Amino acid sequence: MNHFFNRYLDKVTAQIRSKEGQRLVKKELHSHLRQSKQANMRSGLTEEESEQKAVLTMGDPVQLGKGMNKLYRPLVDWWMLFLVMGIFVLSFAPYFLVEIQAMRFEAQFISVLLSMLFLFGFMYIDFRKILFYWKWFIGAAFLYIWLFLVGITLHSSYIYHMHVLAKFQFFGVKIPHQWFIILIFIGLIGYMTHMKITTFKQMIPIFILMWLPVMVMADYLSPFLSLLLLFLVVVLVIFSPIVKKLKYQFLYMNSIFIGLTALWFMITMEHRVARIVGWINQTINNADSYIYILLQDMVQASSWFGQSEVIWSNYMDDMHTVTALALIIYYGGWVLAGLILLVFVAILIRLAKMLMQMNHQQAKLLLAGGIVLLASPFLYNTLMIFGLMPYSAVNFPMISYGGFERIYYASVIGMMLSVYRQKLFLDQSTVSS
């Protein structure tokens, strides 16, 4: 690029805030200037005259740069932000509908505020910069497993036990295992897009990241989280650039393993079998079907705008967490519950539309996996409340009471909003290792 072109393009790009926008505009304008120069030289002008005329033809660099700045800048999905902010506001509904001692307004407010900070933080960070460190996330996942197993073995104080399950606890704050799934999620996206996987041998790390946590931590994870991890990896493989033959082999083998794993979860622990039996025989009034009958009574006794006759919180310990949707249906009514369901469905539809329009491989995997992480607990919890799935400790995303879990979902959505923010620059970029 010559002196005339350099000076002109520097003036243009000085008006553009986005560095990636500067790079794309510089490349595009240089191509136009070179074509204009060649045309001028064919008309009989000297090389220097051709370059000067090409620059003059492009017009005022400052005005051109300001125009390009409006075109080449990161985007904001305002509709998505509006929907997510709506969910944050609606998450206060359980607190105002019924008085439950375990719910504190200050904790809920801080949780929502931190969730918003994480949401905007991940949105403004280019997701490709996060995925660049995919090896670190895989390393952190293995460290997580090691620390967890050491803590269980040594009965360390940083492990919190609740019934048969266990999770990390630091300074009294319980860390949900969903954060561990994020480590594997980001690590696998990086591995699948940075490594050209053409042999079955290269699939082995995916198998390890998929099955090792389930094999060594299954006794302390909920069955839902274990199956969610397996399903997440399957979806990432489907949307990955891995050759079709390897995909089919991977899916065939793991469909058998996943089926056996689900069967193992059902038969190895008596309380899980009893819970499923209670779900199947909901007409039998015993301890195993009690929760299903209770939920059925709440749903059937609800109205359009809510009831207040029965204090159901006296009968349920987890009404503000696992059965928060049932609480909203009864005390807030079908109108409020329907609004919450509608907003969440709208979020998923918008993300699915973004996925269908995306060609960039890393962005596609991030969106596909993010939809799985949001849709799976949403669908399971909703179906469970209506008696269509067995009862399990699966919270309604961002509505159920729980600070770090809400922050987790906000982080996932924030990374997907980062994809939308960078989408103008994605088709022209390449994945670097």
Read off the pLDDT of residues 323-350 as tens digits, 9 standing for 90 and up. 899 999 999 999 999 999 999 999 999 9
Q: List, for residues 86-132, the tens digit of each pLDDT value.
A: 999 999 998 888 877 778 888 899 999 999 999 999 999 999 999 99
Of the residues 46, 71, 96, the one at which a domain ends: 71
d(CA 299, CA 284): 18
Are 176 and 251 members of one domain? yes
The number of beta carbons lying within 10 Å of the beta carbon of residue 392 is: 18
Radius of gyration of the chain (CA): 27
The H or E element containing residue 166 is strand 165-170
**Quick check: is 433 in a domain?**
no
* Angle subtended at Cα 184 by Cα 182 and Cα 188, rounded to the nearest 5 degrees: 120
**Quick check: is 122 in a domain?**
yes
Residues 6+ apart with CB under 8 A from 47: 37, 41
Judge whether residue 417 has pLDDT over 50: yes
**Quick check: is 432 in a domain?**
no
- Name the most confidently modeled range: 72-76, 187-191, 399-403: 187-191
Of the residues 17, 42, 71, the one at which a domain ends: 71
- Name the most confidently modeled range: 20-24, 184-188, 391-395: 184-188
pLDDT at 273: 65
Are 43 and 91 members of one domain? no
Return phi, psi of residue 267, to 5°. -100, -15
**For residue 259, with 0-12 CB atoms within 10 Å meaning exposed, 13-18 middle and 19 or more buried, which class applies?**
exposed
Are 226 and 152 members of one domain? yes
Report residue 310's pLDDT band, with 50, 70 and 90 as the boundaries: low
d(CA 377, CA 379): 6
Helical spans, DSSP H, in 220-320 = 223-239, 244-268, 270-280, 290-301
Are 192 and 296 members of one domain? yes
Task: Quote the tokens at residue 342.
Answer: 């509608």
Are 48 and 17 members of one domain? yes
Domain count, the chain: 2
**Quick check: is 173 in a domain?**
yes
- Cβ burial 177-206 (10 Å sphere, 16+ → b, else e): bbbbbbbbbbbbbbbbbbeebeeeeebebb
Are 356 and 385 members of one domain? yes
Q: What percent of the chain has pLDDT over 90?
A: 42
Residues 6+ apart with CB under 8 A from 336: 90, 93, 305, 306, 328
Domain enclosing residue 120, as ranges: 78-426
Helical spans, DSSP H, in 331-400 = 333-356, 361-385
Are 93 and 32 members of one domain? no
Directed axis angle between helix 223-239 and helix 361-385, to 10°?
A: 150
Are 94 and 67 members of one domain? no
**How large is the average pLDDT for residues 353-372?**
95
Of the residues 43, 71, 99, the one at which a domain ends: 71
Are 67 and 91 members of one domain? no
**Least trusted range by pLDDT, from 25-39, 145-159, 364-378, 406-420:** 25-39
The H or E element containing residue 167 is strand 165-170
**Least trusted range by pLDDT, from 36-40, 304-308, 313-317:** 313-317
Q: Residue 255's closest CA among 277, 278, 227?
A: 227
Q: List, for residues 249-273, the tens digit of each pLDDT value.
A: 888 888 888 777 777 766 666 566 6
**How large is the average pLDDT for residues 398-416?**
93
**Quick check: is 99 in a domain?**
yes
**Quick check: is 53 in a domain?**
yes
**Quick check: is 431 in a domain?**
no
pLDDT at 430: 44
Are 354 and 330 members of one domain? yes
pLDDT at 116: 96
Beta bridge partners of 160: 167
Are 50 and 107 members of one domain? no
Are 27 and 55 members of one domain? yes
**Quick check: is 62 in a domain?**
yes
- Name the most confidently modeled range: 46-50, 218-222, 246-250, 263-267: 246-250
